[in-house]
Amino acid sequence: MTPNKIPLNLNILVVAGATREPIDPVRFITNYSTGTMGYAVANTARNAGHKVTLITGPTHLKQPCGIKTITVITAQEMFKAVKARFKTADCVVMAAAVSDFRPEKYYANKIKRSSGMRVLKLKKNPDILSWLGRRKGNRLLIGFCMETSNLISNARKKMRLKKADLIVANRIDARPACQLLGRQSSFGPGVTTVFILGPERQSMELENVSKQKVSRILLEKIERLWYKNQGN
């Protein structure tokens, strides 16, 4: 809610989940993102009365009711969907874990073990957050980052380079996420610890909280920042 309790009705575009970059018909490059954070933001924004559009990579989560949802698989598909919808958005929450790279070549037939070792050459995927930052205009742009070290300095750098208004910074364990099942992890539905970084070096730490709580606090910050930017 805004400082004077004036309800807002924003068009919020939420981008969530991982992308998958195919190698052959049965293999792909991806990451451990489950989409939980992005879906929490989408549901919280809808419950607050905002109009929400969700663009999501593959996930096992149930599609939320009352939210227009677009499903994609690859980073290029996600980029195309974002470009088609960001112009009507007041705020873009880029919570997706987009694969930075994709295979240079797609093999139409399954790569057989008997064929021996292969070198998998990669090329860069589009940097969706940077593209949005260069074109955001009066829109709010919310970014996310995960780091194994130098969390705050790397998050600040990303915030500056991508021209984000807020960034949610997650510190992740150096071990693979599959070894952390049942423990605190930035991936999945469990509790997490994040920093929300804002303008003028503002920072808020949320320690051992649910992603639903993170989404509620993040939405409050979005609403206040929007209200402030409108000159109120």
Catalytic residue ranges: 31
Write down the residue that tokens 């910074």 correspond to: 169
Write down the residue that tokens 């805004």 correspond to: 2
CA pair distance 174, 170, nearest whole angstrom: 12
